[in-house]
A and B are shown apart, each in its own frame.
Chain A
């Protein structure tokens, strides 16, 4: 065990992990300030040992000069934090703690850093993860969408996740409730389905908490939990939009399944466009609140998802775009009334009274067939109402 840690420490030392950990955790140093420093100091080690090498006064002056020339003010607090020895000790203790835990780190200097992510302009300097990182050589797709999703969105996200996984595509999503969780679960339902969850909080916090089984399963099946925040960071609403750039950055394409007017998924789509990724959207009914975002994306030129081949085509895995949508039921033989009732079911929850009315069948028949359809998985009961199961 201790040899493993030694090996790890050595490996991390090569890519200045300790220094990056210190720098990214300095209070007041955001992405912009770090990029100023990064531009001047090619070797992060040099920056880390700045005070030791040239003395406090000179180092202070250098910093002032650097930020002034970049038209940025360096406040008292930030400067104090930079030179604070106690803080440095504290952060190094934390670093040691991570070192002996099962949390892995990569910095931009490491070879394991995901290639796709490295290309984006605001790629995170450091990533913490459990499990693995997405393989650079494999196709990767992000599936994102609304938290309060409809049953239609949920089942589509699950299906897309499942199909992608069966084609060996890595699925990246944000682990949020609703669409994100459904796409993770869909991907996990396939043997060897690798899926990656990008957290908006530290990866020691399973948020939302009800997904803890999914959390474990993602790691078990060879996927990973990824975050740019230190493992113990608590969930804060401000962090979540930031992680969206990592979701799109890790992927070749971004599929938006269901999104409202001001959905966070649209932020992901914006990032994707900036990063040069293909954005795909699943169309929805014009009248639905949750279709507004997706249909809007399509209007702006996003690729449309009408069948699995559309996605494979965008991933470069299929030669042609087939025009026939996938039909994946019909394996189950149904008697006539069952078929008729099934044709009346859709992804909009309907009450039994509605179905009796629509089908013109007798109540007893309707309830009986609904239960039969449910038992064969072709109908589903949601809050007492019925939707299509497949």
Chain B
């Protein structure tokens, strides 16, 4: 008789359910493993043998043959150990046959029989549910992530003997903490997250630009000298993004589970903020490797990918972003197969305007214009074309830094005759803390959802949609025409301006795109040829 136990392999795309078959027959004591196995699967053989012995069960004295079906598929990973051990124990009658029937078993074994957590348990549980399995046996380490899938029994195990000895299992009870409950708790006190835009004094223009970028999910580029606050501004973007729906959270958690990084994210409801170092390789950025794994672009899905010091990145690595920036997906083609992963992120990039960082402040910058141009040249036009909003920062003044500006404004207000404009100034200063900005973003996202459909934003409008939703009056049309000619804009840049103008109108709550929106959109324009001599 051959015993069979369900198991699963995890690839970058998700989980595939497989079956382990074990047979014990007469002959010299030996274990044979077949089924097109990678070395990481095959070397489980010794772990399994020792673990079974150490748990006090007799290892079958005879020829043990293990097959993982279907054999056509190449298998990699360590999650098969537990399933193979179970199949052997079932074959020799230690585990009752019906106990693991209709269940998927995943987990790695230690020599002492301890069950070690593996990657991708969440997609395994999802796939198992989809295929109508009753339950999943998972390592206790992965218990909480597996619980995110409703409607399927999850059996956590700490030790191989937990599966055999019910008594032992009960004494070793896993904490039945519900992952979703935990998330709801932490989601409600989002305010506890310490960074907030109110920490940053001054830079109101930059905050406005970031608000616009997040509201329309536009990619943004910040340029400025060192110490201007680029990193501070960008790292606070997640605090103004509204939360995710449960379906989005599950999709994102799957990617993290596959990458083995779910533990990194303490709170699954907060949108990801990935800031890879500029020494990153292209495989780490877009995904890849011999055994294909999701890269930073996928890990930043639904959130922000922040590339600090954009010009220091390898140019070839940056060029890889062309496709995901356009489509929100990344295609990884390898001999082992094609993997299409989500890469639906908002790009935020920061850079210095030149090598020394102070251009165009000629009292400090001594770079020649050739050097400045070469510095910009590290980022290709196609990448710049995919960035909708670009702003230049200056260091804030001391008064602004120390928050004394408000006081100065008030003093000016008291003595000033033209109080109309000053009232506006003090009004403007309110728009600086994260919760206020988040309310605006949530409202604008709602508008976009109604207009374009679920999960779509102004930045992703097609040309037809732009023609439909970004109708300009004659004066604005003329403005855009002038700008198009003066700056030598590309067609893509032209549509970009319309998209940003649409977002600005949405922030205003205006149904039509008005002239002031177009003007502001033009001021966020990415550096163009005409800017430098």
Chain A residues with CB under 8 Å of chain B are 147-151, 154, 177-178, 181-182, 208, 210, 287-290, 349-354, 356-357, 360-364, 367-372, 374-375, 380-385, 387
**Complex alpha-carbon distance, A364 and B425, angstroms:** 11
**How far is B223's CA from A349's CA once the two chains are assembled, in angstroms?**
14
B363 close to A (CB within 8 Å): yes
Q: How far is the CB of A384 from chain B (nearest CB, A)?
A: 2
B362 touches A290 (CB 8 A): yes
Q: List 8 A-B contacts (CB under 8 A).
A: A150-B362, A150-B363, A353-B205, A353-B394, A362-B428, A371-B519, A375-B483, A383-B392
Interface string of B360-379 (1 = CB under 8 A from A): 11110111111011000000
Whole-angstrom CA separation of A80 from B425 in the bound complex: 82
B482 contacts A by Cβ under 8 Å? yes
How many angstroms from the CA of A168 to the CA of B479 in the assembled complex?
A: 37
Partner of B370, one of A151, A177, A288: A177
Given contacts A363-B204, A368-B523, could you give 13 more A-B pairs where the C-beta distance is less than 8 Å?
A149-B362, A177-B368, A351-B392, A352-B391, A352-B523, A353-B202, A353-B393, A353-B394, A363-B428, A375-B482, A375-B483, A383-B354, A383-B372
Decide: B425 and A148 in contact? CB cutoff 8 A.
no
* Assembled-state Cα–Cα distance A385/B392 (Å): 6
Query: What are the nearest 10 A-B pairs in CB distance?
Result: A384-B392, A368-B519, A150-B362, A351-B394, A367-B523, A383-B360, A371-B522, A349-B360, A382-B360, A383-B353
Name the contact of A363 in the complex, choosing from B205, B359, B412, B515 (C-beta under 8 A): B205
A368 with B516: in contact, given A351-B394, A353-B202 (CB under 8 Å)?
A: yes
B527 on interface, CB distance cutoff 8 Å: yes
Q: What A residues does B424 contact at CB under 8 A?
A: 362
The minimal Cβ–Cβ distance linking A305 to chain B, given in whole angstroms, is 19
Q: Which of A208, A290, A363, A385 contacts B394 (CB 8 A)?
A: A385
Could you say which residues of chain B place their CB within 8 Å of the CB of A182?
533
Query: Which of B342-398 touch A at CB < 8 Å?
Result: 353-354, 359-363, 365-370, 372-373, 390-394, 396-397
- Name the interface size band of chain B: 35 or more
Cα-based distance from A151 to B533 in the complex (angstroms): 9
Query: Which of B373, B425, B532 has a CB less than 8 Å from the CB of A382?
Result: B532
User: Is A372 touching B519 in the complex (CB atoms < 8 A)?
Assistant: yes
The CA of A368 and the CA of B208, in the complex, are separated in Å by 14
Specify which of A151, A154, A353, A371 is in contact with B483 (CB 8 Å cutoff). Answer: A371
Q: Which of A178, A349, A364 has the most CB of B within 10 A?
A: A364
Inter-chain contacts of B372 with A (CB < 8 A): 383
Alpha-carbon distance between A269 and B377 when the two chains are bound, in angstroms: 36
Judging by beta carbons under 8 Å apart, are A151 and B362 in contact?
yes
- B312 in the interface (beta carbon within 8 A): no
B464 sits at the interface (CB 8 A)? no
Min CB–CB distance B172 → chain A (angstroms): 61
Question: Can you name the residue of chain A whose Cβ is closest to the Cβ of B504?
Answer: A364
B422 CB–A CB distance under 8 Å? yes
A353, A356, A368, A380: residue with the most chain B Cβ atoms closer than 10 Å: A353
Q: A177-B369, A177-B370, A362-B421 are in contact. Are A351 and B482 (CB under 8 A)?
A: no
Contacts of A356 in B (CB 8 A): 204-205
Q: Known interface pairs A353-B394, A356-B205, A383-B360. Does A370 touch B523 (Cβ–Cβ under 8 Å)?
A: yes
Knowing A148-B366, A364-B520, say if A154 contacts B486 (CB, 8 Å). no
Tell me the minimal C-beta distance from A96 to chain B in angstroms. Answer: 36
A358 to chain B, nearest CB (A): 11
B239 within 8 A of A: no
Q: How far is the CB of B95 from chain A (nearest CB, A)?
A: 68
Q: Which residues of A contact B264 (CB under 8 A)?
A: none
Separation of A367 and B396 alpha carbons in the complex (Å): 18
Kindly state whether residue B531 has any CB partner on chain A within 8 Å: yes
Docked-complex contact A178 and B362, CB < 8 angstroms:
no
Q: Does B311 contact A (CB under 8 A)?
A: no
> Would you call B359 and A383 a contact (CB within 8 A)?
yes
- Closest Cβ neighbor of B371 among chain A residues: A148
Chain B min CB distance to A176 (Å): 10
Given known contacts A148-B368, A177-B370, A353-B203, A371 and B361 CB-to-CB distance under 8 angstroms: no
Instruction: Find out whether the CB atom of B368 lies under 8 angstroms from the CB atom of A367.
Output: no
Q: Which residues of B contact A151 (CB under 8 A)?
A: 360, 362
Are A384 and B353 interface neighbours, CB within 8 A? yes
Residue of B nearest to A209 (CB): B370
Contact of A367 among B373, B483, B520 (CB under 8 A): B520
Give chain B residues whose Cβ lies under 8 Å from the Cβ of A181. 533
Could you say which residues of chain B place their CB within 8 Å of the CB of A367? 205, 519-520, 523
Chain B residues with Cβ below 8 Å from A289 are: 362-363
**Interfacial residues of chain B within 386-444, with CB under 8 A of chain A in the complex:** 390-394, 396-397, 405, 412, 418, 421-422, 424-425, 428
Q: Tell whether, in the assembled complex, residue A351 and residue B205 are in contact, meaning their CB atoms are under 8 Å apart.
A: yes
B223 touches A383 (CB 8 A): yes
Cα–Cα distance between A383 and B391 once the two chains are bound (Å)? 9
Verify A360–B392 contact, CB threshold 8 A.
no
List the A side residues contacting B370 at CB < 8 Å. Answer: 177, 208, 210
Residue-wise, chain B 477-505 has the 8 Å CB interface mask toward A (1 for contact) of 00100110010000000000000000000
Contact of B359 with A362 in the complex, beta carbons under 8 Å: no
Q: How far is the CA of A154 from the CA of B519 in the complex (A)?
A: 28
A371 to B518, alpha carbons, bound, how many Å? Answer: 10
Whole-angstrom distance between the alpha carbons of A177 and B206 in the complex? 33
Residue of chain A at shortest CB distance from B362: A150
Interface residues of B in 201-224 (CB under 8 A from A): 202-206, 208, 223-224
In the complex, chain B residues whose CB is within 8 Å of the CB of A178:
368-369
For the complex, give the distance between the alpha carbons of A172 and B367 in Å. Answer: 25
Contacts of B354 in A (CB 8 A): 383
CB of B530 to closest CB in A, whole Å = 8
Report the Cα distance A380→B370, complex, angstroms.
19
**A288 and chain B: residue at smallest CB distance:** B363
A372→B522 CA distance, assembly (Å): 10
Residue of B nearest to A152 (CB): B362
Determine whether the beta carbon of A154 is less than 8 Å from that of B533. yes
> How far is it, in angstroms, between the C-alpha of A385 and the C-alpha of B395 when the chains are bound?
12
Select one of A287, A357, A384 contacting B390, CB under 8 A.
A384
Which of chain B's residues has its CB closest to A146's CB? Answer: B362
Q: Given A148-B368, A385-B392, does the pair A364, B516 have CB atoms closer than 8 Å?
A: yes
Q: Are A360 and B368 in contact (CB under 8 A)?
A: no
CA–CA, A369 to B516, complex, Å? Answer: 9
- Expressed in whole angstroms, the minimum distance between the Cβ of B532 and any Cβ of chain A is 7
Which residues from A are CB-within-8-Å of B373? Answer: 210
Which residues of B have CB within 8 Å of A147? 368
